[in-house]
Amino acid sequence: MWEEIVGHRDIIISLQNLLQRSQCPHAFLFLGPQGVGKFKVAETFAAGILCHEHEAPCGKCACCQAVRQGKNLDLMVIEPDGANIKIEQIRALKHQAAMTSYSGYCRVCIIDGADRMTQEAANSLLKLLEEPPSNFIMILTAVSQNKILPTLQSRTIIYKFQPLVYDQLLTILTARGFDKQQAAANARISGGSVGEAIELFDPEIASLRRTALAMLTTVPQGLDSIWEQAQLIDKLDNRHAAFILKFLVCFVRDCVMLNLGSAYQEFIINQDVKNEMQDICTAWTKEQCVCAYDIIKEAHKALQGNANTRLVFESLLIQLHDILQGGNIVCQL
Ligand SMILES: [Zn+2]
pLDDT for 87: 95
pLDDT for 286: 84
Q: How far is the CA of 44 from the centre of ligand 1 (A)?
A: 10
DSSP one-letter code for 51: -
pLDDT for 28: 97
pLDDT for 333: 45
Q: How far is the CA of 92 from the centre of ligand 1 (A)?
A: 27
Q: Would you write out the chain's pLDDT as a tens digit for each of its 333 residues?
A: 999 898 899 999 999 999 988 778 999 999 999 889 999 999 999 999 999 888 889 999 999 999 999 999 999 999 999 889 999 999 999 988 888 778 777 899 999 999 999 999 999 999 999 988 888 999 999 999 999 999 999 999 999 999 989 899 999 899 999 988 888 888 888 888 888 899 999 999 989 999 899 888 888 777 787 777 777 777 788 888 889 999 999 999 999 888 888 888 888 888 888 888 888 888 888 888 888 999 999 998 888 887 788 888 888 888 888 888 875 455 544
Instruction: Report which secondary-structure segment, H or E, holds 142.
Output: strand 136-142
The structural architecture, per CATH, of the domain 202-324 is Up-down Bundle (1.20)
Parse the chain into domains and list their residue ranges.
2-160, 202-324
Residue 261 φ then ψ, to 5°? 110, 180
| Cα separation, 4 vs 225, whole angstroms | 49
| Cα separation, 104 vs 94, whole angstroms | 18
Instruction: Report which secondary-structure segment, H or E, holds 159.
Output: strand 157-160
- Say if residues 30 and 36 touch (Cβ distance below 8 Å): no
Q: How far is the CA of 108 from the centre of ligand 1 (A)?
A: 15
| Cα separation, 43 vs 75, whole angstroms | 9
- Say if residues 281 and 259 touch (Cβ distance below 8 Å): yes
Q: How far is the CA of 49 from the centre of ligand 1 (A)?
A: 9
Q: How far is the CA of 13 from the centre of ligand 1 (A)?
A: 18
- Say if residues 36 and 23 touch (Cβ distance below 8 Å): no
- Say if residues 63 and 72 touch (Cβ distance below 8 Å): yes
Question: What residues are neighbours of ligand 1 (ion), with CB under 5 Å?
Answer: 51, 53, 58, 61, 64
The CATH superfamily assigned to 2-160 is P-loop containing nucleotide triphosphate hydrolases (3.40.50.300)
pLDDT for 18: 93
